[in-house]
Amino acid sequence: MIKAILIFNNHGKPRLSKFYEHYSEDTEQQIIRETFHLVSKRDENVCNFLEGGMLIGGSDNKLIYRHYATLYFVFCVDSSESELGILDLIQVFVETLDKCFENVCELDLIFHVDKVHHILSEMVMGGMVLETNMNEIITHVDAQNKMEKSEAGIAGAPARAVSAVKNMNLPEIPKNINIGDISIKVPNLPSFK
């Protein structure tokens, strides 16, 4: 079972957190901090597995993570999951994000957390892996996006327009972060096939 999925940036700011077991908000924040602490101090060229987060789970659990540009993708799993399988899953997740957002970068994750959640829910459900086939995931996500749009219909149009205008009027986005740097480059993993 997957116990939790966390995405945070190089400074430990959470970008997405999904817990499949119940923790209080405080504990969740503590777990994120602890995980960041553990993961961030590791070199780039060491293995992607890590044992012994104290808060989440204890000895049976492992942290499996990948570091893409400015973001860490961390899966906390128990012993029933295969390490390489999860590593592959992270790759699938990132590639899917890349497809859905077209050159995904950290900002996409910041402003479209709901979408990311949405994509994730097509891959992992209740801590169990639902789908590992990227095309399948994208098909379902697209279909649901379409549904949302058609539901909003005319009524949604003004709101969309306003939000588009708001986006245009906000020059601080590019100011704060240099988009060129943070675009997540999806390296090709040696294929599992």
Binding of other proteins at residue 58 (CB under 8 A)?
no
**Rounded Cα distance, 62 and 73, in Å:** 14
Q: Does 159 bind other proteins (CB under 8 A)?
A: yes
Q: Which of 10, 118, 134, 138 binds other proteins (CB under 8 A)?
A: 118
Residues 55, 129, 134, 138: which binds other proteins (CB under 8 A)? Answer: 129
103: contact with other proteins by CB under 8 A: no
Does 179 engage in binding with other proteins (CB under 8 A)? no
Q: Name every residue whose Cβ is closer than 8 Å to that of residue 186 and which is 6 or more positions away in sequence.
A: 68, 91, 94, 95, 98
Selected binder of other proteins within 11, 22, 178, 180 (CB under 8 A): 22
Q: Binding to other proteins by residue 168, rule CB under 8 A?
A: no
Which one among 42, 58, 142, 181 touches other proteins, defined by CB under 8 A? Answer: 42
> Which tokens sit at 113?
């957390």
| Of 139, 111, 134, residue with least CA distance to 123 | 134
Provide, rounded to whole angstroms, the least separation between the CB of residue 27 and other proteins.
10
> What are the DSSP E strand ranges found in the chain?
2-9, 14-19, 49-51, 62-68, 71-77, 124-125, 128-129
178 is a contact residue toward other proteins (CB under 8 A): no
CA 134, distance to chain mean position in Å, is: 15
135 is a contact residue toward other proteins (CB under 8 A)? no
- The stretch among 68-76, 94-102, 105-113, 180-188 that binds other proteins (CB under 8 A) is 105-113
Strands 14-19 and 49-51: unpaired
In contact, 55 and 30? CB cutoff 8 Å: yes
We find the least distance from the C-beta atom of residue 37 to other proteins, in angstroms, to be 11
For residue 86, give both structure tokens: 């999860």
110 interacts with other proteins by CB under 8 A: yes
Rounded Cα distance between 137 and 118, Å, is 10
Return the number of the residue (103 or 139) whose C-beta is nearest other proteins.
Answer: 139
